[in-house]
Structure 1
Amino acid sequence: LAHTLDFIHYVLGEYEDFNAHTQIQYPSKVVYDKDSGEEKQATSDVPDLYLSMERSSLQMTGEKGELRITASKTAFLNIAGSGILIEHLDFASNEVKTIDWEFDAHIAELAERARNISKLYDLFAEGKLKEAGAADFAAAVVRHREIDSILWT
């Protein structure tokens, strides 16, 4: 949840105010021990947060148009290595245009899951993590407080 919220806040900024609703859909589960074959009942007091999306989309609407970013291979836009589609809808012309983009060459040659962390290493080496808005320990504390407010209020 925190990693998903991170990229949303990176794009949109922190919320001024928000309301979130969670629920426990499965308060009781049977847990299997694969080695012994034993079954036991487990009770949860934590809201269900399982996301089973195969893709995700972030859509931002402004006065002159709309921007939609879609990751076709994952629910997490911030770690999608490829399959990211960026589209712009111009309200005046009612025309949708695809925005072409690509990774820097030295990042494109890496495995997909390594690409986003590679960029962080580059920023770290250049001393530009803060300037780029990369999350740090203080940001993690903010995000954990946000999650606490979602789960426990």
Structure 2
Amino acid sequence: MLTETIFEDPRWEEADLEAWSERAARAALTHLGIAPEGYEIAVLGCDDDRIATLNADFRGKPRPTNVLSWPSEDLAAENPGEAPEPPPPPDSLDAHHLGDLALSYDVCRQEAAEGGREFEHHVTHLLVHGVLHLLGYDHIRDEDATLMEALETTILGNLGIADPYNRM
């Protein structure tokens, strides 16, 4: 399996985060031409309290958020709007760890409800978003945000999920 899911909040098990994570991560890597075999991603399903602590510890923002990502290495492109470097090929003996993701059930559930989106679709979007961060994509610079959002929309469309950025 590409993803290893750790459940700190049992609501994620009931929601099937394990299957959603695997599907989203495989879709993102495959779309980018990266064979998922030989890579791994850890996904933590937690609650608001835990993600607020992680957000404070790693980003200096002591509040809950929907998804956090910790890439194993910096693959970011130097120039705005360019694709990041691909991850190194996996070793024949060990899987190459791309990084870690954490999602808060509470924030994700609330955002899905407020946005009128299916919970599974919203979480899948956040998983694809997080995997792209692990692969060096970002949205700080406008050109990078445009590239990342276009990739997310295409990957989600391939999964039968509507464009989350449709602002009509």
Give the TM-score of the pair, scaled to structure 2: 0.26
Larger radius of gyration: 1
More strand as a share of residues? 1
More helix as a share of residues? 2
Higher RCO (CA 8 Å, separation ≥ 6 residues): 2
